[in-house]
Structure formats: C-alpha cells, structure tokens
Amino acid sequence: MWITIGALAFSLGVGFFGFKSFTSRDLQVALGVDAHGQFSPCPDKPNCVCSQAKDDEHRIPPLAFSSSPEAALAKLKAIIQESPRTEVIQENGRYLHATYKSRLFRYIDDVEFNVDPQAGVIQVKSASRVGHSDLGVNRKRIEGIRQRFENSLDPR
C-alpha cells in the first residue's frame, strides 16, 4: 500500500514539476552573444557545454565548415528542424537559438549557435534550463548534431 501511495505522490510531483513550462526569466543562463560573439559562461553545474568554455568539464569543440557561412547555417538549421521536439526560437544573422524538449519530463534545453566566418567554425552552447546534472545529454546532443553536420558536408 505504501508503495502505491509513494508511486502516486511521485507521479503527481512529476506531473506538476516536470511538465512546467519555463519562460526566459526561469533560465539559469543568459541567451545570445555579446558584441564580441561570446556566449555567457556555463553555470557551475554539469548540465551545460560550450565551445567557448575555458574548463574541460564544459568545453566542446565548435562545428567546422568550409562552405559559405550562410550555407553552413542553413544546413545546421535543417538538421535541427529534423530533430524531434525541437523549435527554432530565433535566427538573427549568424546566430541561431533552438530549444529541445525532453520526451518524458518535458524539460527544455536551450541550444545556441553563432557562426564565426573568419575562423570557419560555428560556436555552440547547449544548456539545461533547470536541474543540476543532465547525465551528459547536452554533450551527446551537440556531438550528434556534429556528426549529422559533417556527414551532410560529405560530397559522397
């Protein structure tokens, strides 16, 4: 009987907290890039990766491209739109912000991309809006995007 009550309480808690819709003021991290093309730093939690991070825990390589910046961003946007539970929130010049919603609890992660044409890379940042650990989800997401992005540039 206690197991049933506990399971019911857990389900109600997940239903109430897990499916909450978060707004931009609920974000742990500011979005966008500054005048120098820099993202805001990742918080001191293991639920964020960024190609501009200085520490190994949060650092992830940017996406490299050899096409025009416009073509690279268009290809990236197409890859993002193919992913389930995603939405492109903002596309502004060389900056793109998308959200990914988790399947079970409907948590939202913010994923940002900023094209650096001089370096031939797209800087990336993926961060959870809530919680402490993401169990590596943001890193896996960016690496999956990287793989699809690199395969799409393959002329075969």
The closest alpha carbon to 155, from 47, 45, 67, 62, belongs to 67
CA–CA gap between residue 49 and residue 55 (Å, rounded)? 10
The predicted pLDDT at position 34 comes to 93
Mean pLDDT by 10 residues, the chain (156 residues): 48 41 48 93 95 97 96 96 95 95 91 97 96 92 97 63
The predicted pLDDT at position 23 comes to 46
Q: State the fold for domain 23-153.
A: TATA-Binding Protein (3.30.310)
The predicted pLDDT at position 99 comes to 97
The predicted pLDDT at position 152 comes to 84
Q: Is 103 left (phi over 0), alpha (psi -120 to 50) or beta?
A: alpha
